[in-house]
Structure 1
Amino acid sequence: MTTCLLRLSAIVLGVAVSGPGLCDAPGTTTQTLPDNAESRFQFLDANRDGVLSKYEYDSEVAFETADSDHNMLISAQELQEILGPPVQGVPTAADRLIVADLDSDGELDDGELRRALEMRFGWLDRNSDGNLDLDEMKSGFGVRVRP
């Protein structure tokens, strides 16, 4: 459960720039995250309380999970591993990374990831209650937010 929760948090990086993600047990084949708002919401709602909290959107966990080579940076390749194989008509990991890569070095550091996640969460949280409900998730699902 903890490993799956960590991987779920890594999905947030993809959600921050609108895209699918993965969750799998160690050593197994990855499974693509559902691609509609309701299914994704249910998948991300780890504690099943009907809202997505900032904890479920936590960048420290997302960063730790996505940084597979442990160099304290997230590359386009590492992000693509989280998102799954590229899909025609959907932005690639490299395209998504550019949105949050403030120093244009081709990789995300913790600060860049944290900023992107906070921006996306704040943008989705239309009623500013600190949680995302299903209606908020639906209203922003697949919509690209530019910093």
Structure 2
Amino acid sequence: MQTKMKTALTFLALAGMIGGLTATARADDMRHGGKGHHGMRLEKADADNSGDLTFEEYATTIDARLANADADGDGQMTVGEIADEIVRMRAERAARRLVRRFDVDGDGALTPGEIENRQRKMFALLDRNDDGVIDRSEMPRRHGKGHHRRDRRH
């Protein structure tokens, strides 16, 4: 069971990280409560709730995101250290989303039973004819032959 759980959690974490990658939104969106430069939310960065950002508020928010990037404590952040921190932050966000989705009892942790419960629900949705197996005709269809979602240009 331990191996099954580790495999499931690894798959879920990887799926969440891949699915969680997004492009940075336009700075105009900040004024409307959306994500702006660096994916920052105006409401969270606006420490004094004035409705706008000062340089100090902006810098404090960015500094907080990079606080752990200097892994070796030498006062410099290398590309590798920054990349490692970005990967860690994205993985943590993906893990939080997965826990929120799967955590039936709301205790903030996943059990093998909660993971299996979600897997059964997902399987049941795919098994459209309720015969206990999923065949090719029941699998979700892709958008056009040979075209993957990541290949589409907007």
**What TM-score does the superposition give when structure 2 sets the normalisation length?**
0.36
Q: Which has the higher helix share?
A: 2
Which of the pair has more CA radius of gyration? 2
